Amino acid sequence: MREETDEDMLIKYILGETTDTELETIELWLKDDKANMRKLEQVKFILESSQQLAQQSPADEDDQWEKFKIKREALNTRPKVRSITARAGWLQMAAAILIFMGGASAAYYFYKQQTGLNGRLQSFASTDKALIDTLADGSIVHLNRYSSVTCLSDFKKTREVKLTGEAFFEVRHNESVPFIVHAGQVNIRDIGTAFNVKSHTKNVEVVVESGIVRVTKADASVQLNPQQKVMVDNSDNQLHVEQNTDLLYNYYRSNEFIANKTPLWRVIETINEAYDSHIVIADKRLSNLPLTGTFKKESVNKFLQLLLLTTPDIRMENVGDNIILKSK
Amino acid sequence: MNEERVTANLFSEVEFEALFKAHFKELHAYAFSFLKDWDKAEEVVQGLFLKLWEKRELPEMHTSMRSYLYKAAYHDCLNLIRREKVHLQYQTRTAFAMKDESDNAANTVHLREVQVRLSAALNMLPEKCRTVFHLSRFEQLKYRQIADHLGISIKTVEKQMGKALRILRGEMKEFLPLIAVLLFKIFKS
């Protein structure tokens, strides 16, 4: 046999591709000489080692097809690349016009950016579910239910937002671009902190979790440190700073009501707000009862069950939609 | 595989989707055998289908669709390797990928060297040769099936396999004396 033919035959032999007569020839040839056996081993070695390199594709055809369609779409929207030849002088014209238009629209875009305040600014609102969103500067806003945040500036020189309802802000640190929240007539200004703002028809409450914020209304202004809060009444310009004693304000973010020697009325107030429930404390004595504990935000009924279990002094009555809490 | 030799010149969306889904994974594995990186392999295969779609017409069919696709993948992969010089990364990756193959330390070294070297040697094979070899060894196809897939004769498959082996043997020369030992350790364990 010629060397090449032998080798082809050997491969066939290893791969089990030989016909019966070929098989016999090969086996005889192998017995014929030790060198032939060695050759077989070498070929076998290469064939089998390469088989070990084989890998199955982990991809999924359907996913890949979806990806492909997206890529193809992108391709279609992009103009095709063609060489511009002298023959296609009009193409050069078109290119010039395109470039001009591109430049013009870029200029227009930047102009709009500069002037800001033109409807392109970010704004979002929650309905019956709390939501989290990120502002253009990377600050994170946790919106409580039925609240909204609208950006009032382009976030270049100042970052100003208007809040209705309640939100917790985690402000991305940037000393040169102050962050200002407008809630009613109250302005809250800070540089890079986390704080909660709750704006009611009657008042605005600001609680600082970390960092320092400055709260102003008309001429009055106070500085708040972590775990301090200020309640600003809409009817006057007094700013009263107090120590914030509870973490209840956090409920729509953490989905937990955390009470730490918090008076019952305060807990009930928050529960009513979170669930639109109508729980009323009938007994003055109960009102200031200190509660401690963490309640998962599940349902009003779960909460009431827990409350009754842990506070044996309380009994409950249902009157229509109202739930009345009385002492035993 | 005759149904793949579409006579019409333009793809319909449905035909193209079928073609894509039928061949994606095997081409992905094929590209991986060059690039040792599934993401890069994916890019190559996606890219070649995009090019095919853009042309919107079937390549001239001397052989088969599969043959055309493998050929495109072969050239795109080697171009990518040349462009990105992935081969540096590629060798370390291969070595890494093979690390767990054996727990015998000395043996591992040999085995890894063999695999790295073999992977590199595979990339030296000419296009047709590589495709045939890949279909035989990686996809475990019989000569008959390879011939059908690529629209070539069985005789050509035989010839290409022989050619592949000769090239690989040349590249692997220095390992061959060790074979008796290695073979025993690798395949019998």
- For the stretch A278-317, pLDDT in tens is 888 888 788 888 888 888 888 888 888 888 888 888 888 8
**In the predicted structure, residue B7 carries a pLDDT above the cut 50:** no
Using an 8 Å Cβ cutoff, are A147 and A164 in contact? yes
**In the predicted structure, residue A90 carries a pLDDT above the cut 80:** no
Model confidence pLDDT, tens digit, residues A150-173: 888 777 788 888 898 899 998 888
**Which residue matches tokens 């061949």?**
B23
Backbone phi and psi for residue A94, each to the nearest 5 degrees, phi listed first: -60, -40
Q: What is the ipTM of this complex?
A: 0.73
Of A46, A64, A72, the CB nearest to B53: A72
Model confidence pLDDT, tens digit, residues B108-157: 556 677 778 888 888 889 999 999 999 998 888 999 999 988 888 999 99
Q: What is the CATH number of domain A248-327?
A: 3.55.50.30
Rounded to whole angstroms, the Cα distance separating A79 from A73 reads: 12
A73 lies within 8 A of chain B by CB: no
Of the candidates B27, B49, B7, the one whose C-alpha atom is nearest the C-alpha of residue A72 is B49
Given an 8 Å threshold on Cβ–Cβ distance, is A68 in contact with B168? no
Residues 6+ apart with CB under 8 A from A165: A126, A143, A144, A145, A146, A147, A148, A198, A199
Cβ neighbours around B87 below 10 Å, total: 18
CA distance A98 to chain B (A): 24
Cβ neighbours around B110 below 10 Å, total: 17
The first and second tokens of residue A162, run together, are 């208007």
What is the pLDDT of chain A when averaged over all its residues?
81
Chain A positions touching B54 (Cβ under 8 A) are: 75
**In the predicted structure, residue A22 carries a pLDDT above the cut 90:** no
Burial zone of A66 (CB within 10 Å; 0-12 exposed, 13-18 middle, 19+ buried) = exposed
Comparing A16-20, A106-110, A170-174, the range with the smallest average pLDDT is: A106-110
CA distance B61 to chain A (A): 24
Helices (H), A19-140: 20-32, 34-52, 61-77, 89-115
Given an 8 Å threshold on Cβ–Cβ distance, is A47 in contact with B165? yes
Model confidence pLDDT, tens digit, residues A252-269: 888 888 888 888 888 888
How confident is the model at residue B46, as a pLDDT? 94
How confident is the model at residue B157, as a pLDDT? 93
Average pLDDT over residues A127-150: 85
**One-letter amino acid identity for A208?**
V
Of B24, B143, B168, the CB nearest to A61: B24
Using an 8 Å Cβ cutoff, are A321 and A278 in contact? yes
- Interface contacts (A, B; CB < 8 Å): 120
Average pLDDT over residues A22-46: 83
Rounded to whole angstroms, the Cα distance separating A196 from A211 reads: 12
CA distance B118 to chain A (A): 7
The first and second tokens of residue B46, run together, are 């996606």
Using an 8 Å Cβ cutoff, are A207 and A183 in contact? no
Of B21, B50, B165, the CB nearest to A61: B21
Rounded to whole angstroms, the Cα distance separating A231 from A204 reads: 6
Rounded to whole angstroms, the Cα distance separating A296 from B64 reads: 64
Q: pLDDT confidence of B73, banded at 50, 70, 90?
A: very high
Of B38, B49, B50, the CB nearest to A58: B38
How confident is the model at residue B129, as a pLDDT? 92
| Residues paired with residue A210 on neighbouring β-strands, in sequence order | A194
How confident is the model at residue B30, as a pLDDT? 92
pTM of the model: 0.45
Given an 8 Å threshold on Cβ–Cβ distance, is B24 in contact with A57? yes
Of B42, B137, B162, the CB nearest to A8: B162
Backbone phi and psi for residue B151, each to the nearest 5 degrees, phi listed first: 65, 40
Residues 6+ apart with CB under 8 A from A158: A177, A178, A179, A180
Residues 6+ apart with CB under 8 A from B91: B116, B120
Longest dimension (CA), chain A: 112
- Give residue A121's region: left, alpha or beta (phi > 0; psi -120 to 50): beta
How confident is the model at residue B12, as a pLDDT? 76
**In the predicted structure, residue B42 carries a pLDDT above the cut 90:** yes
Chain A positions touching B168 (Cβ under 8 A) are: 46, 50
Backbone phi and psi for residue A262, each to the nearest 5 degrees, phi listed first: -90, 135
Using an 8 Å Cβ cutoff, are A173 and A192 in contact? yes
How confident is the model at residue B56, as a pLDDT? 66
How confident is the model at residue B6, as a pLDDT? 44
Cβ neighbours around B17 below 10 Å, total: 16
How confident is the model at residue A100, as a pLDDT? 84
A54 lies within 8 A of chain B by CB: yes
How confident is the model at residue B100, as a pLDDT? 46
- What is the Cα gyration radius of chain B? 18
With the CA atoms of A105, A111, A115 and A121 taken in that order, what torsion angle do they form, in degrees rounded to the nearest 10? 40
**Greater confidence, A51 or B101?**
A51
Cα A288 from chain centroid (whole Å): 39
Mutate to test the interface with A, among B91, B117, B146, B187 (most CBs of A within 10 A): B187
Mutate to test the interface with B, among A10, A42, A47, A66 (most CBs of B within 10 A): A42
Distances (CA, A) of A290 to A197, A259, A262: 24, 9, 5
